[in-house]
Structure 1
């Protein structure tokens, strides 16, 4: 397998604080990202890049549910001024352009269509867009350039806390296939005997992946303010968790940010994944297994 290549990302806090306008750029990439809170939209639209051709993402909540809208324009500022009146729910805008205004109308329509399709495929945040536009025809060279542009954009957006394109569902593969790719990948199980729930997971490339076929609680039973409450609802909405008798079942492998997040979804409430997950075989808690790995690294 090819080792991941590092990237150099530059964030610039325009207002001198994280809560204000932020620009993001990757080294050796012509793209430019500007994220602004709605309270600073007037100042943002006075910037030069706001009058370039590009795509934009509006993020917020509607009736307590996360919401997003993806659009394009040859002059983003003009489009956003219209949305400032017609769409009341958004609180953050993300403007994506290119240096020297190198994107044309066909480019931004392509990017818009691809971003809408990507957002809908992840299912993380419902879109306010009525339809998924058809990807416009471009030359083979332009398609290659726009796909490369998107690859870089997907690196930048999570850095400015835009996660609606993050795909955590993973293709369902057999245990033998995982072992063939990562022969030393540690495996873990979680047994919630009170509710006859069993889940399995594997740690691959730093991702804690709960495997398809694992069981979880039938519904979220913990505090609604817990961050995993919305994640549980998201997984149900995306049909990654589907009802199965008195439980729900994972229909796909799913990568979690931590063992505790994974355990919380399985339990349907707050959980300490450091002790809930145990190695298979061996029965070590994740915490003890992790401590052992640290000792081995230190003494190597």
Structure 2
């Protein structure tokens, strides 16, 4: 069961702007996250938490794509100074330090967190890692494993809030949504009655038909949806990097004269989904049509807004 309870997150911009040093903490969580640009590293390492035990992420770009390194240390500041001096890590621009209040994490804890984060990052596959082999987690007691897994669960809430999305799992097993799988043709009578909005996108010239659902605020393209065989827009721009990521991650695979989704995938918007399917920039507000009514996504959205009670719309 998904935990739908709200969480209270506090972000503190230490130097007054969002691109500088930031601390992030969740209410009722012992963890502490500290973000610093490399250009502020000297100041950052003077802070108390920089001397704590913890795990860290080095983030940047290499060869035109996002790149990262995940590590652990008993003294985060000492380790980051070593990385700053290393010639093979000139690519990183941001460091994320994860520790606990009162320096409560020990060596075994941080080794466990490091091992789990590396496995998670590689399974999701958004961001290539500079790390070599995946380390094995140390032997912890059952109680300590439970504590570290709870620590990780809270950390996964904090990281997206500070624009670290390498651990967000957007691909889903086939059939994970509350909707029928896409077919060549879909009968309205075959659709289930769950409160999930369903959409279709058709490109008859190339025998392309895709299906998606809007569920829990996510626009999810379903397994079996067809898309253009290759990217037709300008290389390296728009959603081309995402197309390459989906191919690398095995979310889409070639099938004859087109390609096909072999996993459900949650996109950030209808336009992102439409662009991937067309192989070029596209307006998803007009490309997708709600299955039951046949109206465009934009028209469907406007109907939802018009249906709001006046007092809700004015709130």
Any conservation in 1 of the 2:172–2:263 contact (CA below 8 Å)?
A: yes
How many pairs align? 300
Is residue 185 of structure 1 aligned with residue 196 of structure 2? yes
Is residue 233 of structure 1 aligned with residue 244 of structure 2? yes
Name the residue aligned to 2:308: 297
Name the residue aligned to 2:186: none
SS of structure 2 residue aligned to 1:94: strand
Change (3 A) 1:199 1:66: same
Change (3 A) 1:136 1:259: same
CA-based RMSD = 1.9
The CA distance in 1 between the partners of 2:148 and 2:154, in whole Å, is: 10
The alpha carbon displacement at 1:285 in A equals: 0.6
The CA distance in 1 between the partners of 2:153 and 2:237, in whole Å, is: 32
Is residue 150 of structure 1 aligned with residue 152 of structure 2? yes
The alpha carbon displacement at 1:297 in A equals: 2.1
The CA distance in 2 between the partners of 1:263 and 1:288, in whole Å, is: 16
Change (3 A) 1:141 1:48: same
The alpha carbon displacement at 1:182 in A equals: 7.4
Instruction: Give a deviation string over 1:179-208, Cα, whole Å, max 9, x none.
Output: 999712111100012322110001111111
2:175 pairs, out of 170, 173, 176, with 173
Name the residue aligned to 2:125: 123
Is residue 76 of structure 1 aligned with residue 76 of structure 2? yes
The CA distance in 2 between the partners of 1:177 and 1:211, in whole Å, is: 9
Structure 1 residues 41-56: aligned runs within 5 Å: 41-56=41-56
The CA distance in 2 between the partners of 1:97 and 1:85, in whole Å, is: 23
The alpha carbon displacement at 1:174 in A equals: 7.2
Name the residue aligned to 1:10: 10
SS of structure 1 residue aligned to 2:122: helix
1:261 pairs, out of 269, 272, 278, with 272
The CA distance in 2 between the partners of 1:180 and 1:25, in whole Å, is: 43
Q: TM-score by structure 1 length?
A: 0.95
Q: TM-score by structure 2 length?
A: 0.91
Q: Which moved more, 1:85-94 or 1:216-225?
A: 216-225
SS of structure 1 residue aligned to 2:303: helix
Structure 1 residues 206-221: aligned runs within 5 Å: 206-221=217-232
The CA distance in 2 between the partners of 1:298 and 1:101, in whole Å, is: 51
Is residue 136 of structure 1 aligned with residue 147 of structure 2? no
The CA distance in 1 between the partners of 2:151 and 2:102, in whole Å, is: 15
User: Which ranges of structure 2 fall in alignment gaps of 5 or more residues?
Assistant: 181-189
Change (3 A) 1:82 1:2: closer
Is residue 106 of structure 1 aligned with residue 117 of structure 2? no
Name the residue aligned to 1:97: 99
Name the residue aligned to 1:21: 21
Name the residue aligned to 1:247: 258
SS of structure 2 residue aligned to 1:239: coil
The CA distance in 1 between the partners of 2:207 and 2:223, in whole Å, is: 17
Name the residue aligned to 1:39: 39
User: Which ranges of structure 1 fall in alignment gaps of 5 or more residues?
Assistant: none
